């Protein structure tokens, strides 16, 4: 009744969609990192689904069993390395988040961006172009600085 | 068999949404572990035991451990995140 | 306004990804290379696990590059985290349950990890899975007793030596006149522990390298100072 292939492809599609949504729409840096990890999981699932056929068996020879149709081992090898690379990326991203916390004191990306631009403007000696969409804390500091 | 796949996919996708919407970071980490676990069961159903073992060891094991350590060092371990 | 724009963005993104999915041909493309490997791997490489023969035999160079990426990520993570301040405070020792549990779990995890590494060419498993289990095995005593840190020089030495062994075994094939990383030694019989030539040795090197790298990275992360 229900097509297994369709369900699996919609799972990969959903994970990729949720991952990208997490990266673009989140304010907190740790949630952005969660979004990257979800996106990687969805991409690995999609890669493995590329040569899946119903009724295949695992590509391993066990004594006394003769499989008639074995699954494709090449995407499995690629996904194996991709998962390990993903954990390496995750470790580096979390270390960078720790440094951002140490340097700016906050992990809210809007505030961090404002402070970075403020530092660049201070070092260049020019005024930072004021925006009405700055977070409340930065706007209050700006008003205190000018008053 | 198809109902098993459907149930696992539904649990996985709702946990993925919960990762982004939960306010407490520890709960988001638990939901992320559920996504990894569901994914590794899906890999077994797709007849890829090597990949399933790697995803279970890394996604539900090392990845969650890394996140938990980082959350602790960032001071987000208790109920204070947003 | 924010929610409306987020919903519109999600809708547009969903349509874009669905359009990309529609254009791809799933399930109808014949996996040519995979079927060739499935029929030829048993005689050519001699490993019962075909994924191992692909990872270490047919695509061994990709595994070498993947080890390089992992090394870069771990080293960069250690560099970014910086040196530990000499008088930074550590977490207190854990309670009795965690200490006793860690002492019991450590030998079991090491045995399971080494078993999975050594049987990588016969059953599902191999260097990456076993290496990750070894990394957790060496990290759990650090969780139980943060006062006794891991020695980073020993971990780096093991990692460097294992990586050098992998490249050296690959270079041995070049001295024989064949391409880099061709599996050496005789194949043995399919399904025995000592089969598939140099593949178990390569996986042993991979497992030790991945395990020590990830253990060192976890140790760096857990030794960095708490922010509050």
The answer to the question of residue C21 being in a domain is: no
- pLDDT of B19 > 90? The answer is yes
- Structure tokens that stand for C219 in this block: 């140790």
- pLDDT of B29 > 70? The answer is yes
Please indicate whether, in this complex, the C-beta atoms of A4 and B2 are within 8 angstroms of each other: yes
Nearest CA in chain A to B22: A31
Cβ-Cβ contacts under 8 Å for B41 (sequence gap 6 or more): B8, B52
pLDDT band at A93 (very low <50, low <70, confident <90, very high): very high
Distance (Å, whole) CA A24 – CA A131: 21
Quickly count: other Cβ atoms within 10 Å of residue A44's Cβ.
25
Q: Which residues of C touch A63 (CB under 8 A)?
A: 191
Nearest CA in chain A to B53: A80
pLDDT of residue A4: 82
Distance (Å, whole) CA C73 – CA C79: 10
Domains of chain B by residue range: 22-74
So what's the ipTM on this one? 0.92
Where in the sequence is the domain holding C116, given as residue range(s)? 48-223
pLDDT of residue C176: 77
Torsion region of A133: left, alpha or beta (phi above 0 gives left; psi -120 to 50 gives alpha): alpha
Please indicate whether, in this complex, the C-beta atoms of B54 and A97 are within 8 angstroms of each other: no
Q: Which chains touch A (3 or more CB pairs under 8 A)?
A: B, C
CA nearest B79: which of B42, B24, B29?
Answer: B24
Which residue ranges in chain C fall short of pLDDT 70?
A: 25-30, 89, 186-189, 191, 226-228
pLDDT of residue A24: 92
CA nearest C198: which of C158, C170, C157?
Answer: C170
Residues 39-98 on A with a CB inside 8 Å of B are: 41, 44-45, 48-49, 52, 56-58, 60, 71, 76, 79-80, 83-84, 86-87, 90-91, 94, 97-98
Interface test with C, best of B21, B54, B73, B81 (most C CBs within 10 A): B73
- pLDDT of B80 > 60? The answer is no
Q: Which residues of B touch A26 (CB under 8 A)?
A: 20
pLDDT of residue C23: 76
DSSP states along chain C: -HHHHHHHHHHHHHHHHHHHHHHS--S-S--HHHHHHHHHHHHHT--SBHHHIIIIIITHHHHHHHHHHHHHHHHHHHHHH-PPPTT---PPPP-HHHHHHHHHHHHHHHHHHHHHHHTTTTSS--HHHHHHHHHHHHHHHHHH-TTSPPPHHHHHHHHHHHHHHHHHHHHHHHHTTS-TT---S----TTSSS-STTHHHHHHHHHHHHHHHHHHHHHHHHHSPP--
Q: Write the CA distances from B8 to A8, A110, A135, B34, integer angstroms.
A: 10, 36, 40, 10
What is the DSSP secondary structure assignment for residue B47, as one 8-state letter?
Answer: T
Q: Write the CA distances from C65 to A62, C56, C154, C199, C214, integer angstroms.
A: 30, 12, 24, 17, 17
- pLDDT of B1 > 70? The answer is yes
Residue C147 and residue C90 in contact, taking contact as beta carbons nearer than 8 Å: yes
Distance (Å, whole) CA C57 – CA A85: 20
Q: How many domains does chain C have?
A: 1
Dihedral angle, C-alpha C21, C27, C33, C39, nearest 10 °: 160
pTM of the predicted protein model: 0.89
The answer to the question of residue C63 being in a domain is: yes
Of C50, C66, C81, the CB nearest to A98: C81
pLDDT of residue C91: 72
pLDDT of residue A133: 66
pLDDT of residue C47: 80
pLDDT band at B82 (very low <50, low <70, confident <90, very high): very low
Q: Dihedral sign, CA of C147, C150, C153, C154?
A: positive
CA nearest A72: which of B54, B51, C16, B1?
Answer: B51
pLDDT band at B58 (very low <50, low <70, confident <90, very high): very high
Q: Which residues of B touch A104 (CB under 8 A)?
A: none
CA nearest A8: which of B34, B53, B42, B50?
Answer: B42
Dihedral angle, C-alpha A134, B70, C64, A73, nearest 10 °: -90
Rounded to a whole number of angstroms, the distance between the first and last alpha carbons of chain B is 40
Of B13, B49, B63, the CB nearest to A11: B13
Interface test with A, best of C80, C131, C188, C227 (most A CBs within 10 A): C80
- pLDDT of A132 > 80? The answer is no
Distance (Å, whole) CA A121 – CA C124: 56
pLDDT tens, position by position, C35-75: 778 778 777 777 888 888 888 888 888 899 999 999 999 99
Nearest CA in chain B to C123: B50
Q: Which residues of B touch C38 (CB under 8 A)?
A: none
Interface test with C, best of A12, A19, A48, A81 (most C CBs within 10 A): A81
Helix axes C199-223, A73-104, angle to 10 degrees: 20
CA nearest B43: which of C143, C122, A41?
Answer: A41
The answer to the question of residue C1 being in a domain is: no
Please indicate whether, in this complex, the C-beta atoms of A73 and C10 are within 8 angstroms of each other: no
The answer to the question of residue C155 being in a domain is: yes
Please indicate whether, in this complex, the C-beta atoms of A62 and C217 are within 8 angstroms of each other: no
Q: Dihedral sign, CA of A48, A50, A53, A58?
A: negative
Q: Dihedral sign, CA of C114, C117, C120, C125?
A: positive
- Structure tokens that stand for C212 in this block: 């020590």
Triad C46, C133, C194: Cα angle to 5° = 25
Distance (Å, whole) CA A85 – CA C77: 14
For residue A28, the cross-strand partners are A108
Percent with pLDDT over 70 in chain C: 92
- Mean pLDDT for chain A overall: 85
pLDDT tens, position by position, A4-62: 888 888 899 999 999 999 999 999 999 999 999 999 999 999 998 887 877 777 788 77
Rounded mean pLDDT of B44-64? 91
Rounded mean pLDDT of A100-108? 88
Residues 108-147 on A with a CB inside 8 Å of B are: none
């Amino acid at each position: 009744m229900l097509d297994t292939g369709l369900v699996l492809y919609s799972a990969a599609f959903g994970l990729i969609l949720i991952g990208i949504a997490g990266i673009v729409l989140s304010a907190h840096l740790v949630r952005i990192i969660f979004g990257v990890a979800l996106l990687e999981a969805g991409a690995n699932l999609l890669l493995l689904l590329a040569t899946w056929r119903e009724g295949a068996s695992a590509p391993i020879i066990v004594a006394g069993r003769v499989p008639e149709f074995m699954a494709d081992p090449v995407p499995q090898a690629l996904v194996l390395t991709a998962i390990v690379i993903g954990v390496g990326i995750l470790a580096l991203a979390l270390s960078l988040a720790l440094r951002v916390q140490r340097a700016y004191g906050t992990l809210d990306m809007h505030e961090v961006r404002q402070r970075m631009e403020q530092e660049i403007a201070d070092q260049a000696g020019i005024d930072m172009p004021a925006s009405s969409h700055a977070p409340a804390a930065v706007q209050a500091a700006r008003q205190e600085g000018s008053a | 068999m198809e109902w098993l796949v459907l149930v696992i996919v539904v649990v996985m996708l709702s946990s993925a949404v919960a990762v982004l919407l939960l306010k407490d970071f520890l709960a988001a980490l638990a939901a992320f572990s559920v996504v990894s676990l569901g994914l590794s069961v899906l890999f077994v159903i797709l007849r890829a035991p090597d990949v399933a073992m790697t995803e279970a060891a890394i996604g539900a094991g090392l990845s969650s451990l890394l996140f938990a350590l980082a959350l602790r060092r960032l001071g987000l371990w208790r109920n204070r995140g947003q | 306004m924010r929610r409306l724009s987020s919903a519109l963005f999600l809708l547009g993104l969903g349509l874009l990804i669905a359009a990309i999915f529609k254009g791809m041909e799933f399930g109808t493309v014949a996996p040519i290379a995979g079927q060739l490997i499935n029929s030829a791997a048993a005689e050519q490489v001699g490993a019962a696990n075909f994924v191992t023969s692909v990872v270490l035999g047919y695509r061994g160079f990709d595994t070498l590059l993947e080890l390089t990426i992992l090394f870069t990520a771990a080293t960069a993570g250690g560099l970014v985290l910086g040196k530990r301040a000499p008088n930074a405070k550590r977490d207190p020792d854990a309670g009795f349950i965690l200490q006793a549990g860690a002492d019991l779990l450590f030998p079991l995890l090491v045995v399971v990890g080494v078993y999975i590494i050594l049987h990588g060419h016969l059953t599902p498993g191999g260097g990456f899975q076993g290496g990750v289990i070894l990394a957790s095995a060496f990290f759990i005593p650090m969780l139980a007793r943060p006062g006794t840190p891991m020695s980073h020089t020993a971990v780096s030495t093991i990692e460097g030596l294992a990586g050098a062994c992998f490249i050296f075994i690959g270079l041995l094939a070049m001295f024989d006149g064949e391409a880099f990383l061709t599996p050496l030694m005789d194949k043995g019989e399919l399904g025995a522990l000592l089969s598939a030539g140099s593949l178990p040795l390569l996986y042993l090197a991979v497992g030790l390298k991945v395990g020590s790298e990830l253990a060192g990275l976890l140790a760096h992360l857990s030794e960095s100072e708490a922010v509050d």
